[in-house]
Amino acid sequence: MSVPVRLMFFGIALFTMALLAAGAMLMAVGHHGWLSALSYVIGILLAGVGFMLRRRFIKPTAAE
């Protein structure tokens, strides 16, 4: 895997973790419930995008 692709995956993972942590913090504080839910939804969608891009950039080898 090339360096730019690795950096892209690192950035996606970092933002995903940050969004999920922000959602947990907002839920623990008890304010802004809609912002907490939005943070979780965006974090889960970003994780899905990361897995989708991983499948596109890292092709599985065909079993023969």
Q: What percent of the chain has pLDDT over 90?
A: 42
CB neighbourhood size of 35 (10 A): 13
Q: Check whether 33 has a pLDDT greater than 90.
A: no
> Which DSSP string corresponds to 6-57?
HHHHHHHHHHHHHHHHHHHHHHHHT--HHHHHHHHHHHHHHHHHHHHHHHHH
How many Cβ atoms from other residues are within 10 Å of residue 18's Cβ? 13
Residue 55 to residue 59: CA distance in whole angstroms: 6
What pLDDT sits at residue 31?
A: 77
Give the pLDDT of residue 62. Answer: 61
3-state class (DSSP) for residue 5: helix
pTM of this structure: 0.77
**Tens-place pLDDT, residues 10-27:** 999 999 999 999 999 989
